[in-house]
Amino acid sequence: MTQVPDVYILGGYQTDFARNWSKEKKHFVAMMREAVLGALDKTKIEPGDIEVAHTGNFAAELYSKQGHLGAFFLEIDPAFSGLPTSRHEAACASGSLAIQAASAEIEAHRYDLACVVGVEQMKTVGAGEGGDFLGTAAWYELEAKGIEFPFPKLFGKLGDEYDKRYGLKDEHLAEISTINYANAKLNPNAQTRTWYMNYEHAMSRDEFNGSIGGRINISDCSQVTDGAVAVLLASPTYAKNWADRMGVPLESIPRIKGWGHNTARMLFEDKVAESAKAQYVLPHVRTTVTTAMKRAGIADVSGIDSIETHDCFTTSEYMAIDHFGLTAPGESWKAIESGDIALGGKTPINPSGGLIGAGHPVGATGVRQVLDSYKQVTGQAGDYQVEGAKNVQTLNIGGSGTTSVSFVIGN
Amino acid sequence: MLAATRAAAGGRSSDLLSSRSIKHVVVLGANGAMGLGSGALFTTAVPRVTFLARTKEKADGGLAAAVKMVRSSTVAKRVDTGSYEADFDRVVGEADLIFEAVTEQLPLKQEFFDRIDKARRPDSIVATVTSGLSINQLAEGRSDSFRKNFLGLHFFNPPNVIVGTELIAGKDTDPKLVDFLDEYCTKLLGRAMVRTADTPGFAGNRIGFQLLNECAILAEEHGPLLIDELVGPYTGRALTPLATIDLVGWDIHRAIVDNIYELAPDEAHETLKLPSYMADLMAKGVLGRKTGAGFFGKDDGGQRIVLDPKTQKYVPKSSISRPDLSFIDAIANLHRVGRYVDGMRAFAEATGPYAAIAQKVIAGYISYSFHRVGEVTDDISGIDSIMGNGFNWAPPSVLVDTIGLKATIQMIEKAGLPVPPALANAEEGTTFFDDPQVNVGKFFVAA
The domains of chain B are located at: 14-196, 204-443
Closest residue to B71, CB basis, from A186, A199, A208: A208
* Chain pair A-B, CB pairs under 8 angstroms: 117
CA distance B228 to chain A (A): 17
- Phi–psi pair at A113, nearest 5 degrees: -140, 120
Nearest partner of B345 among B296, B291, B388, B399, judged by Cα: B399
Alpha-carbon torsion B129, B133, B137, B142, what sign?
Answer: negative
The one-character DSSP state at A380 is: -
What is the C-alpha to C-alpha distance for residues A318 and B300, in angstroms, rounded to an integer? 55
Whether B43 has a pLDDT exceeding 60, the answer reads yes
What is the C-alpha to C-alpha distance for residues B239 and A25, in angstroms, rounded to an integer? 13
Nearest partner of A407 among A376, A378, A370, judged by Cα: A370
A170-210 tens-digit pLDDT: 999 999 999 999 999 999 999 999 999 999 999 999 999 99
Subunit contact A23:B238, Cβ cutoff 8 A: yes
Whether B13 has a pLDDT exceeding 60, the answer reads no
Subunit contact A345:B7, Cβ cutoff 8 A: yes
Subunit contact A342:B3, Cβ cutoff 8 A: yes
Cβ burial, residue A386 (10 Å; 0-12/13-18/19+): buried
Closest residue to B5, CB basis, from A26, A182, A209: A182
Subunit contact A193:B190, Cβ cutoff 8 A: yes
B282-334 tens-digit pLDDT: 999 999 999 999 999 999 999 999 999 999 999 999 999 999 999 999 999 99
* The Cα angle at residue A389 between residues A385 and A390, in degrees rounded to 5: 150
Subunit contact B336:A200, Cβ cutoff 8 A: no
Per-residue model confidence (pLDDT) at position A214: 87
Subunit contact A34:B439, Cβ cutoff 8 A: yes
A48-77 tens-digit pLDDT: 999 999 999 999 999 999 999 999 999 999
Output the CA–CA distances (angstroms, integers) from residue A11 to A74, A239, A258, in the order listed: 21, 11, 18
B402-415 tens-digit pLDDT: 999 999 999 999 99
Alpha-carbon torsion B65, B71, B76, B79, what sign?
Answer: negative
Per-residue model confidence (pLDDT) at position A3: 80
pTM of the model: 0.95
Q: Name all contacts of A329-336 with Cβ < 8 Å and 24+ positions apart.
A: A329/A166, A329/A279, A329/A280, A329/A281, A330/A162, A330/A165, A330/A166, A330/A167, A331/A166, A332/A162, A332/A172, A333/A168, A333/A169, A333/A172, A336/A172, A336/A175, A336/A176, A336/B2, A336/B4
User: Which residues from A are below 8 Å from B when comparing CB atoms?
Assistant: 15-16, 19, 23-27, 29-34, 75, 175, 178-179, 182-183, 185-186, 188, 193-194, 196, 198-201, 204, 206, 208-209, 336-339, 341-345, 383
Query: Predicted confidence band at A2 (pLDDT cuts at 50, 70, 90)?
Result: low
CA distance B18 to chain A (A): 19
B195, β-bridge pairs: B167
Closest residue to A204, CB basis, from B72, B336, B338: B72
What is the C-alpha to C-alpha distance for residues A5 and A109, in angstroms, rounded to an integer? 8
- Say if residues B359 and B347 touch (Cβ distance below 8 Å): yes
Q: If you count them, how many residues does chain A have?
A: 411
Query: Predicted confidence band at A298 (pLDDT cuts at 50, 70, 90)?
Result: very high
Subunit contact A344:B8, Cβ cutoff 8 A: yes
Nearest partner of B446 among B345, B329, B352, judged by Cα: B329
Nearest partner of B360 among B350, B373, B371, judged by Cα: B350
Average pLDDT over residues B158-165: 93
Per-residue model confidence (pLDDT) at position B275: 98
Percent with pLDDT over 70 in chain B? 97
The residue of chain A nearest to residue B335, with distances taken between CA atoms, is A26
- Say if residues B204 and B152 touch (Cβ distance below 8 Å): no
CA distance B8 to chain A (A): 6
Output the CA–CA distances (angstroms, integers) from residue B49 to A333, B59, B113, B187, in the order listed: 34, 12, 19, 18
Query: Predicted confidence band at B5 (pLDDT cuts at 50, 70, 90)?
Result: very low
Subunit contact B10:A344, Cβ cutoff 8 A: yes
Subunit contact A196:B75, Cβ cutoff 8 A: yes
Enclosing H/E stretch for A410: strand A403-410
The one-character DSSP state at A317 is: H
- Say if residues A364 and A396 touch (Cβ distance below 8 Å): no
Task: Specify the 3-state DSSP secondary structure of A227.
Answer: strand
What is the C-alpha to C-alpha distance for residues B45 and B308, in angstroms, rounded to an integer? 47
Average pLDDT over residues A94-111: 98
Q: What is the ipTM of this complex?
A: 0.95
The residue of chain B nearest to residue A15, with distances taken between CA atoms, is B439
Query: Predicted confidence band at B160 (pLDDT cuts at 50, 70, 90)?
Result: confident
Rg of chain B over Cα atoms, rounded to whole angstroms, equals 23
One-letter-per-residue 3-state SS of chain B:
CCHHHHHHHHCCCCCCHHHCCCCEEEEECCCCHHHHHHHHHHHCCCCEEEEEECCHHHHHHHHHHHHHHHCCHHHHHHEEEEEHHHHHHHHHHHCCEEEECCCCCHHHHHHHHHHHHHHCCCCCEEEECCCCCCHHHHHCCCCHHHHHCEEEEEECCCCCCCCEEEEEECCCCCHHHHHHHHHHHHHCCCCEEEEECCCCCCCHHHHHHHHHHHHHHHHHHHCHHHHHHHCCHHHCECCCHHHHHHHHCHHHHHHHHHHHHHHCCCCCHHHHCCCHHHHHHHHCCCCEHHHCECCEEECCCCCEEEEECCCCEEEEHHHCCCCCCHHHHHHHHHHHCCCHHHHHHHHHHCCCHHHHHHHHHHHHHHHHHHHCECCCECCHHHHHHHHHHCCCECCHHHHHHHHCHHHHHHHHHHCCCCCCHHHHCCCCCCCCCCCCCCCHHHHCCCC
Which residues in chain B are contacts of A196 at CB distance < 8 A?
44, 70-72, 75, 160
Per-residue model confidence (pLDDT) at position B115: 97
The residue of chain A nearest to residue B162, with distances taken between CA atoms, is A194
What is the C-alpha to C-alpha distance for residues B250 and B255, in angstroms, rounded to an integer? 9
Average pLDDT over residues A318-346: 98
Query: Predicted confidence band at B56 (pLDDT cuts at 50, 70, 90)?
Result: very high
Which residues in chain A are contacts of B187 at CB distance < 8 A?
none
Nearest partner of A256 among A392, A94, A385, judged by Cα: A392
Per-residue model confidence (pLDDT) at position B10: 39
Query: Predicted confidence band at B132 (pLDDT cuts at 50, 70, 90)?
Result: confident
What is the C-alpha to C-alpha distance for residues A53 and A82, in angstroms, rounded to an integer? 11
Cβ burial, residue B265 (10 Å; 0-12/13-18/19+): exposed
Which residues in chain A are contacts of B446 at CB distance < 8 A?
24-26
CA distance A196 to chain B (A): 6
State the average pLDDT for chain B.
95
The residue of chain A nearest to residue B234, with distances taken between CA atoms, is A24
Query: Predicted confidence band at A357 (pLDDT cuts at 50, 70, 90)?
Result: very high
Closest residue to A34, CB basis, from B6, B70, B441: B441
Would you identify the CATH topology of the domain B204-443? N-(1-d-carboxylethyl)-l-norvaline Dehydrogenase; domain 2 (1.10.1040)
A159-169 tens-digit pLDDT: 999 999 999 99
User: Which residues from B are below 8 Å from A when comparing CB atoms?
Assistant: 1-12, 44, 70-75, 160-161, 163, 190, 233, 238, 332, 335-339, 437-439, 441-442, 444-447
B102-126 tens-digit pLDDT: 998 999 999 999 999 999 999 999 9
Of the CA atoms within 13 Å of residue A221, those in its CB half-sphere come to 21
Whether A90 has a pLDDT exceeding 50, the answer reads yes
- Say if residues A406 and A99 touch (Cβ distance below 8 Å): no
- Indicate the Cα dihedral angle A246, A251, A252, A254, nearest 10°: 110
Subunit contact A33:B11, Cβ cutoff 8 A: no
Percent with pLDDT over 70 in chain A? 100
> Domains of chain A, with CATH numbers?
8-125+224-246 (3.40.47.10)
State the average pLDDT for chain A.
97
SS3 content of chain A, % helix, strand, coil (to 5): 45, 15, 40
The one-character DSSP state at A143 is: I
Subunit contact B5:A188, Cβ cutoff 8 A: no
Which of A186, A196, A223 best tests the B interface by mutation, with the highest count of B CBs <10 A? A196
- Say if residues A250 and A239 touch (Cβ distance below 8 Å): yes
CA distance B269 to chain A (A): 33
Parallel/antiparallel/unpaired status of strands A391-394 and A403-410: antiparallel
CATH code of domain B14-196: 3.40.50.720
- Say if residues B39 and B51 touch (Cβ distance below 8 Å): yes
Query: Predicted confidence band at B4 (pLDDT cuts at 50, 70, 90)?
Result: very low
Subunit contact B44:A196, Cβ cutoff 8 A: yes
